[in-house]
Structure formats: C-alpha cells, structure tokens
Amino acid sequence: MNFIALLVTVVSAFLITSVIGMWLIPFLRRLHFGQTILDIGPAWHKSKQGTPTMGGIMFIAGITIAILAGWLTLELSEQGVVDASAAGSFYLWGGLLMALAFGLIGFLDDYISVVKKQNLGLKAGQKSLAQLLVAVVYLAAQQIFAPTTSFWLPFIGDLDIGIFYYPLMLFIIVGTVNAVNLTDGIDGLDASVTMVAAMGFMVIASIAGFSQMNLLAAALAGGCLGFLVWNFHPAKVFMGDTGSLFLGGMVVALAFGLRRPVLLVFIGIVYVVETLSDIIQIGSVKLTGKRVFKMAPIHHHFEMSGWSEVKIVAVFSAVTAVGCLIAVLLVL
C-alpha cells in the first residue's frame, strides 16, 4: 500500500471534516436544527436539548472527498491500485455509494424529525423498507461485478452456501447498519468505536493486500477523528441518523470489501452487544414485565450506574480494540 496515498486519505478526511464543522454547526444552530430529547432518557440528557444534529454531514463530505483524493494519489503513483479489478473497484465505489444511500435515509429521517420537533422521523416500516432496498441493490450489484455465494469462516475458509447467501447477507447488512445507529447514544461513542473499528480494518486490509479497502478504512478513521473534535463530550453537535446510518454502511462496505463479513462479530463487538442488550431488555419486559438492565442499549445502563460518558467511550473503544486484535489474529 502506498504510504503517501494512505496519509493523504487520513489527513484530508480529518481536516475536511473538522473544518466543515466550523461552518456547519453555526449554520445548523441558525436553522434551529436541534436535537429533541425524550423524557424516557436519563434526566441529565435534558441539558443536551437543542444541540445541533445532522452533523454527520461533515464527515460524509470529508470521507467522500478523502477517498477520491487518496484514490487519485494511488492512481498517479508508480505502484498504482493493487486490486484494480472490477471486484476491487466495486467494493470501493459500490461500498461508498451504499453508505451514502444509507446516509440519505438517515438524512430524511432527521429532517422529518427536526421539522416536527419530535424524536420521530420516518416510520419504522418506511425506514426498514428503504434499508432493505439499499441492501438488495448492493447485493444485486455485487453479483454483477464480484459474483459470489461463498461465506468466509475462521479456520474453515470460504464456504459456498448457495442461495442461503442472500438472506444471510441481507440480515448482516441491515442488522449492522442498525446496530451502529443504536450505538449512537452518548457524546463521542459511535465515532470513537467506529474509528477504532476502522483502524482494525486498515490492519487487515494491509495484511490481505486490499489497497482500495485500506483507503476506505483510512478515510473512515480520519473522518471519525475529525468529527470527534466537535462531538467528544461535551458535544457541540450530534451526528444524527444522517451520520450513524452512513457509518453503518461504511462498516458493512469494509467487511464485504475484505470478503469477510463474519469479522463484524469481532470488530463490531460493541455494536453486537448494544443490539443484544436492547433485544434482551425488550424481550424481558414483554415476557416478565421486568428489566434486565437499568436502561437499554447497554451504554445507558452504565450511564445510569454512574459511569461518566468519557469513561463509557474509553471502555467501549478498548473493547473494540480487543475485538479488532482477535479479528487480525484470525486472518493471519
């Protein structure tokens, strides 16, 4: 992997994202595009009422431009793009387009929510249908540019699962995107966890020789870091569903681009636990009328237990780093 191209990608994603924040945050304030905080959340979250949301726009722009800059740098280098096949190009540009499509769904959800001044945007059915449509289009395109029905498993390798590939991948795509969205509940959490996950993907991409995925991961890491300039506690802006659904799409794009979606279980361990905690909580309340956690998703449980937002972010990021290490060891 061309080090200069990687550096250009990371630095440009960070700088563009953080600089856009200088303009976007005041602009969102002038439009009164502030977050509405529901009464069901922790009482101290009420102080966040009115904090500008839809800030994910800044890293969507930063990441997209950074990928273009890094790709051009790689193209103009003597080395060129290593995995410049139709499959390699699809996983880069198709993955980015998929993430942008999920970001658009989030933008519509945020816009409706902000205009109505409620924490309600698109109806659940509308959002689910739109997400399924994006996932189906991505998988259809995959079968054109990088056809496969194989599923990589640790210690086993590629396993052809035939027609079962499609429903399984649909579940993984939509499930991961929503899991990343669910993780966005306190200042800096989603961006920090996703930044660490992106660095894990970078290491695996380097080992496997997927230069285009290295660009995607580098841009994601740089964009998340640039956003944390404004989103780390106390947050001056929230990413909104605009940002969290885009991040989910990027995480999926990287896992598929590395031809190892199963690694999401390890690299995305925090996303998995957040989702399971929500499912367990809902199931327990419906079946027994009792809560397992003080509040779900689980980051709110720790928050209600007295953990500071900074501590939760630090611990969850460390857990993600351990998951990334396990994933790296599995692909060696």
Residues 248-303 have pLDDT tens digits of 999 999 999 999 999 999 999 999 999 999 999 999 999 999 999 999 999 999 99
Q: How far is CA 216 from the centre of its chain?
A: 12
User: Is the pLDDT reported for residue 80 higher than 70?
Assistant: no
Question: What pLDDT score does 67 carry?
Answer: 96
Helix/strand/coil for 39: coil
Q: Is 324 exposed, middle or buried (0-12, 13-18, 19+ CB in 10 A)?
A: buried
Question: What pLDDT score does 114 carry?
Answer: 83
Longest dimension (CA), the chain: 64
Question: What pLDDT score does 46 carry?
Answer: 56
Distance from C-alpha of 53 to C-alpha of 55, rounded to nearest angstrom: 5
Mean pLDDT of the chain: 92
Nearest 5°: the CA angle 184, 186, 187 is 105
Tokens coding 167: 């429903």
User: Residue holding tokens 């920090």?
Assistant: 192
What is the identity of the amino acid at 209? G
Distance from C-alpha of 202 to C-alpha of 215, rounded to nearest angstrom: 8
Please provide residue 263's backbone torsions phi and psi, each rounded to the nearest 5 degrees. -65, -15
User: Is the pLDDT reported for residue 82 higher than 90?
Assistant: no
Contact indicator for 151, 161 with CB cutoff of 8 Å: yes
pLDDT tens, 16-32?
999 999 999 999 998 88
Distance from C-alpha of 23 to C-alpha of 96, rounded to nearest angstrom: 24
pLDDT tens, 300-322?
999 999 999 999 999 999 999 99
**Which of these ranges, 78-87, 88-97, 270-279, has the smallest mean pLDDT?**
78-87
SS3 of the chain: helix, strand, coil, percent, to 5: 75, 5, 25
> In 219-245, which positions are buried (b, 16+ CB within 10 angstroms) versus exposed (e)?
bbbbbbbbbbbbbbeebebbbbbbbbb
pLDDT tens, 231-244?
999 999 999 999 99
Question: What pLDDT score does 275 carry?
Answer: 98
Mean pLDDT value across residues 147-163:
94
Please provide residue 330's backbone torsions phi and psi, each rounded to the nearest 5 degrees. -70, -25
What is the domain partition of the chain in residue ranges?
3-331
Q: What is the DSSP letter of 34?
A: B
Distance from C-alpha of 192 to C-alpha of 129, rounded to nearest angstrom: 29
Contact indicator for 281, 293 with CB cutoff of 8 Å: yes
Q: Which of these, 80, 95, 78, lies nearest to 213 by C-alpha position?
A: 95
Contact indicator for 245, 102 with CB cutoff of 8 Å: yes
User: Is the pLDDT reported for residue 81 higher than 60?
Assistant: no
Q: What percent of the chain has pLDDT over 70?
A: 92
Distance from C-alpha of 7 to C-alpha of 28, rounded to nearest angstrom: 31
Q: What percent of the chain has pLDDT over 90?
A: 80
Tokens coding 251: 């995480």
Residue 104's pLDDT band (cuts 50, 70, 90): very high
User: Is the pLDDT reported for residue 37 higher than 70?
Assistant: no
Helix/strand/coil for 308: coil
Distance from C-alpha of 107 to C-alpha of 17, rounded to nearest angstrom: 17
Residue 119's pLDDT band (cuts 50, 70, 90): low
